Chains A and B, each alone.
Chain A
Amino acid sequence: MEEILAKYFRPKLPHIWCPGCGNGIVTAAVTKAIDKLQLDIDQTAIVSGIGCSSRASGYLNFDTLHTAHGRAIPFATGIKLVKPNHNVIVLTGDGDATAIGGNHFIHAARRNLDITVVVFNNNIYGMTGGQYSPLTPNKGMATTAPYGNVDRPFDLCELAKGAGATFVARATTFHAALLAEVIAKGISHKGFSLVEAITACPVSFGRQNKMGSPANMIKTQRDNAVMVEAMAKMKPEQYEGKFPIGVLYQAEAPEYVTEYQKVIARAMGRTE
Chain B
Amino acid sequence: MAKAILMQGNYAAAEGAIAAGAKFFAGYPITPSTEVAEVLARRLPQVGGTFIQMEDEIAGMAATIGASIAGTKSLTATSGPGFSLKQELLGYASMAEVPCVIVNVQRTGPSTGQPTSPAQGDVMQTRWGSHGDRGVIALSPSSVTECFTVTVDAFNLAEKYRTPVVVLLDEIVGHMREKFIMPDAESLTIVNRKKPNLPPGEFLPFKPEEDGVPRMPAYGEGYRFHTTGLVHDYTGFPNGSNAMTHEVIERLHTKITRNIDDIVRFEEVQLEDAEIAIVAFGGTARSAYAAVEAARAEGIKAGLFRPITIWPTPDKQLEALAKKVKTIIVAELNYGQYVGEVRRIVCGEANVISLPKWNNDAITPNELLDAIKAAR
Contact = CB atoms under 8 A, between A and B. Distances in A.
B70 A66 contact: no
A103 B56 contact: yes
Nearest to B232: A66
A248 B230 CA distance: 36
Contact of A268 (B23, B46, B55, B223): B46
**Is chain B's interface secondary structure helix, strand, loop, or mixed overall?**
mixed
**5 closest cross-chain pairs (CB), A and B:** A78-B66, A267-B45, A74-B62, A78-B63, A78-B67
B92 A86 contact: no
Interface stretch (B30-38, B103-111, B214-222, B359-367): B214-222
Nearest to A70: B58
Contact of A77 (B49, B52, B58): B52
B228 A66 contact: yes
Contact of A104 (B48, B59, B68): B59
Interface stretch (A23-31, A55-63, A219-227): A55-63
Interface in B17-61: 23-24, 26, 42, 45-50, 52, 54-56, 58-60
Nearest to A78: B66
Interface in B209-242: 219-230, 237-238
A21 B238 CA distance: 21
Interface in A129-153: none
| B50, B68, B74, B88: residue with the most chain A Cβ atoms closer than 10 Å | B50
A61 B224 contact: yes
Interface string A45-86: 101000000000110011111111001001111110111001
A58 B47 CA distance: 35
A74 B59 contact: yes
Interface in B292-342: none
Contacts of B72: 82
Contact of B63 (A63, A75, A103, A260): A75
A76 B26 CA distance: 12
Interface of A: 12, 41-43, 45, 47, 57-58, 61-68, 71, 74-79, 81-83, 86, 103-104, 107, 260, 263-264, 266-268, 270-271
B81 interface: no
B65 A58 contact: no
Contacts of B47: 268, 271
Chain B interface bracket (under 10, 10 to 19, 20 to 34, 35 or more) = 35 or more
Which residue, of A64, A76, A268, has the highest number of chain B Cβ atoms within 10 A?
A64
Contacts of A263: 45
Nearest to A12: B237
Contact of A63 (B50, B64, B68, B224): B224
B59 A71 contact: yes
A79 B226 contact: no
A83 B70 CA distance: 7
B305 to A, nearest CB: 38
B46 A63 contact: no
Contact of B23 (A57, A82, A270): A82
A78 B229 CA distance: 17
A82 B52 CA distance: 11
8 contacts: A57-B226, A67-B229, A76-B66, A77-B26, A81-B63, A104-B62, A264-B49, A268-B48
A42 B24 contact: no
B45 A42 contact: no
Given A41-B224, A58-B228, A264 B50 contact: yes
Given A41-B224, A267-B46, 12 more contacts: A47-B66, A63-B219, A64-B227, A68-B62, A68-B92, A68-B229, A74-B54, A75-B66, A77-B66, A78-B63, A267-B42, A268-B46
B371 interface: no
Interface in B64-86: 64-72, 74
B78 to A, nearest CB: 15
B66 A74 contact: yes
Given A58-B238, A263-B45, A78 B226 contact: no
Given A71-B58, A76-B66, A86-B220, A64 B226 contact: yes
Interface string B181-220: 0000000000000000000000000000000000000011
A65 to B, nearest CB: 5
A12 B23 CA distance: 35
A271 B42 CA distance: 11
Nearest to B26: A78
B50 A81 contact: yes
Given A63-B224, A103-B55, A68 B48 contact: no
